[in-house]
C-alpha cells in the first residue's frame, strides 16, 4: 500500500460547520437582488412568502431522502456514490457530470459578484485599468484582479485543512445572518414600517397563482447548497443521522433569509411612491442605490450603517459561497477519481493537510478563466446549475426509493417517489418554455447545455475505452 493510499480525509467537521457549509451555499448575491428583479416582479411580498414556504417544504421532503442515503453511505461523493450504488457507474457519471458543472460554475459566479459590491456600494472602486465588453457586460482589469485574488485566496485556505475552512465558513455565515438580523430588527422597530400590512400582497399585473408557481419554479437554484452536505460526509465528526436536522435547519434559514429580505424591500420604499409595485415598475429608470431596492431599504432604515450591515451580509454570503462550493466540488471530483471515473490525479490528497488539493487546484484554474468573460456569459452556464441540482435531487430520491423498497421502509418510499416526481417537474419547467412560469433556459444556456452533453458523452466514451484497454 502506498503512502498516498494510507492518507484519508480528516473527520473534523462539526454540526455547526456543516450547517454553515449548507447555508453559505444556499444564500448568495442573488438573495439581495432578487427582490427587485424576480420576487416582487413575479409574485409580490405575500406571494413570495407563500412560494418560498412551499419550496422549502419540497426541499425538506428531498432532504429526508438525502439523510437516508447519507446514513447508508457516509462517504465523500454524495449523489455520485448514491447513484452508483443504486444504478451503476453510467448513471452515476450522468448525475455527477451535471452536478459537477452546477457546483463548479457557482465558484467563479460568487467571485465575480465581488465586483458588483464595488459597482453598487463602493462607487465603482474596482473599475480601473483597461476594459472591454462581452455580451453587453463591461469588464474591467481591476475587477478581474479582485475576482482572481478571491479565487486564489480561498483555494489556498481550502487546501489548508477542513477544520480551518469549517471555522472560517462558520464565521462568514454568522456575518451573513447577523447582517440580515440587524436590518430585520431595524424594520420591526421602525414605527413607520409595517412588515405585516404590506399592500398589495401580490404582483397586481400577474394572477396570484401564476406568480407563486413562477417563484416556486426557481427553487432548485434558490436552495442549491443543502445538497452539498453529503459531499463532506466522510469528514463529519458526528453521527450521519444528525444530517436530517442540519439540512432542514439550513433550508428553513435559507427560506427565512429570502422571505425577510423580500418583505423588508417591499415595506421600505422611497418617498413619492404609493406602494412597492409602483417603485418596482420604475426601477429601470432609476440609478444608484435606488435601483437596488434591498440596499436602498437598508439605507432608509439605518443610513450608511444600514448599507454597511447589508454589505457585510452580502460579503459573507459571497465568500461563504466560494468556500462552500470549493469544498463540495472538490469532494465530488475526489470521489469520482476514487471510482476511476476521473483520472487518479483528482483523488490525491495533500500529505500535510489531507485535503483533495489537486481537485481544488483544478477548480481554481477553471474558475480563473471566468472573470475574463464577464457575468453575462458566465450566467449562461450558471443558468444550467438548476438543471444539475434537479438531476442530483432526482437521482438521490430515486436511489432512496429503491433501497427503501428493498428494506420495506414505507416513509422513505413515499418521500423517494415524491422527490423523484418533483425533481422531474423542475427539469421540465427549466427545459420547456411555459410562459406562465417564465423560468426556462434562454437560447445561450440551451447551447451551453448541448455542448456540455456532447462533451460528457465524449469523455465517458474515452474513459470507458481507457478502462478496458481497447
pLDDT of residue 369 exceeding 70, the answer is: yes
pLDDT of residue 162 exceeding 70, the answer is: yes
- pTM score: 0.92
pLDDT of residue 470 exceeding 60, the answer is: no
Distance CA 72, CA 268 (A): 48
Cell numbers 442573488 label which residue?
30
Tell me the domain boundaries of the chain.
12-464
Closest among 19, 22, 45, 25 to 34, alpha carbons compared: 45
Instruction: State the Rg of the chain over Cα.
Output: 22
- The three-state secondary structure class of 130 is coil
Asked whether the CA dihedral 421, 226, 91, 381 is positive or negative, the reply is: positive
> The C-alpha cell of 116 is what?
458588483
pLDDT of residue 446 exceeding 90, the answer is: no
pLDDT number for residue 378: 78
Distance CA 448, CA 343 (A): 24
Rounded (5°) CA angle 438-429-81: 135
CATH architecture of the domain formed by 12-464:
Up-down Bundle (1.20)
The residues, any chain, with a CB within 8 Å of residue 432's CB and separated by 6 or more, are 440
Higher pLDDT, 388 or 380: 388
φ/ψ of residue 199, rounded to 5 = -130, 145
> The C-alpha cell of 464 is what?
470507458
Beta bridge partners of residue 132, listed in sequence order? 139
pLDDT of residue 328 exceeding 70, the answer is: yes
* Structure confidence at residue 469 as a pLDDT band (50, 70, 90): low
**92, 80 Cβ separation under 8 angstroms:** yes
- The three-state secondary structure class of 233 is helix
Amino acid at each position: 500500500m502506498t503512502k498516498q493510499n494510507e492518507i484519508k480525509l480528516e473527520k473534523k467537521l462539526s454540526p455547526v460547520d456543516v450547517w454553515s457549509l449548507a447555508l453559505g451555499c444556499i444564500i448568495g448575491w442573488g438573495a439581495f437582488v432578487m427582490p427587485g428583479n424576480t420576487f416582487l416582479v413575479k409574485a409580490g411580498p405575500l406571494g413570495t412568502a407563500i412560494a418560498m414556504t412551499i419550496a422549502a417544504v419540497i426541499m425538506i421532503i428531498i432532504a429526508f431522502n438525502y439523510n437516508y442515503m447519507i446514513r447508508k453511505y457516509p462517504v465523500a461523493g454524495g449523489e455520485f456514490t448514491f447513484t452508483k450504488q443504486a444504478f451503476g457507474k453510467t448513471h452515476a457519471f450522468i448525475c455527477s457530470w451535471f452536478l459537477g458543472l452546477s457546483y463548479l460554475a457557482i465558484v467563479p459566479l460568487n467571485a465575480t459578484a465581488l465586483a458588483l459590491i464595488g459597482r453598487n456600494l463602493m462607487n465603482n472602486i474596482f473599475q480601473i485599468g483597461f476594459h472591454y465588453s462581452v455580451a453587453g457586460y463591461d469588464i474591467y482589469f481591476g475587477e478581474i484582479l479582485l475576482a482572481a485574488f478571491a479565487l486564489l485566496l480561498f483555494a489556498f485556505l481550502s487546501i489548508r485543512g477542513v477544520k480551518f475552512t469549517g471555522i472560517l465558513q462558520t464565521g462568514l455565515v454568522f456575518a451573513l445572518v447577523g447582517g440580515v438580523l440587524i436590518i430585520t430588527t431595524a424594520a420591526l422597530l421602525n414605527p413607520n414600517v409595517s412588515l405585516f400590512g404590506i399592500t398589495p400582497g401580490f404582483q397586481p399585473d400577474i394572477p396570484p397563482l401564476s406568480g407563486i408557481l413562477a417563484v416556486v419554479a426557481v427553487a432548485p437554484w434558490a436552495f442549491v447548497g443543502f445538497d452539498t452536505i453529503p459531499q463532506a460526509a466522510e469528514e463529519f465528526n458526528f453521527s450521519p443521522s444528525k444530517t436530517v436536522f442540519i439540512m432542514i435547519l439550513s433550508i428553513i434559514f435559507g427560506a427565512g433569509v429570502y422571505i425577510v429580505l423580500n418583505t423588508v424591500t417591499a415595506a421600505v420604499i422611497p418617498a413619492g411612491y404609493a406602494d412597492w409595485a409602483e417603485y418596482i415598475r420604475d426601477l429601470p429608470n432609476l440609478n444608484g442605490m435606488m435601483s437596488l431596492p434591498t440596499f436602498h431599504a437598508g439605507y432608509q432604515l439605518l443610513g450608511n450603517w444600514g448599507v454597511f450591515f447589508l454589505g457585510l451580509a452580502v460579503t459573507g454570503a459571497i465568500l461563504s459561497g466560494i468556500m462552500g462550493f470549493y469544498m463540495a466540488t472538490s469532494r465530488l471530483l475526489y470521489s469520482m477519481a476514487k471510482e476511476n471515473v476521473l483520472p487518479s490525479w483528482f483523488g490525491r490528497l495533500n500529505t500535510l493537510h489531507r485535503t483533495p488539493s489537486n481537485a481544488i487546484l483544478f477548480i481554481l484554474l477553471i474558475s480563473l478563466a471566468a472573470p475574463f468573460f464577464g457575468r453575462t456569459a458566465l450566467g449562461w452556464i450558471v443558468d444550467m446549475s438548476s438543471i444539475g441540482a434537479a438531476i442530483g435531487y432526482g437521482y438521490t430520491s430515486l436511489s432512496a426509493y429503491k433501497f427503501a423498497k428493498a428494506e420495506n421502509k414505507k416513509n422513505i418510499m413515499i418521500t423517494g417517489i415524491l422527490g423523484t416526481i418533483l425533481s422531474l417537474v423542475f427539469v421540465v419547467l427549466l427545459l420547456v418554455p411555459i410562459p406562465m412560469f417564465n423560468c426556462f433556459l434562454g437560447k445561450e444556456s440551451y447551447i451551453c447545455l448541448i455542448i456540455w452533453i456532447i462533451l460528457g458523452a465524449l469523455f465517458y466514451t474515452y474513459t470507458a475505452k481507457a478502462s478496458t484497454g481497447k
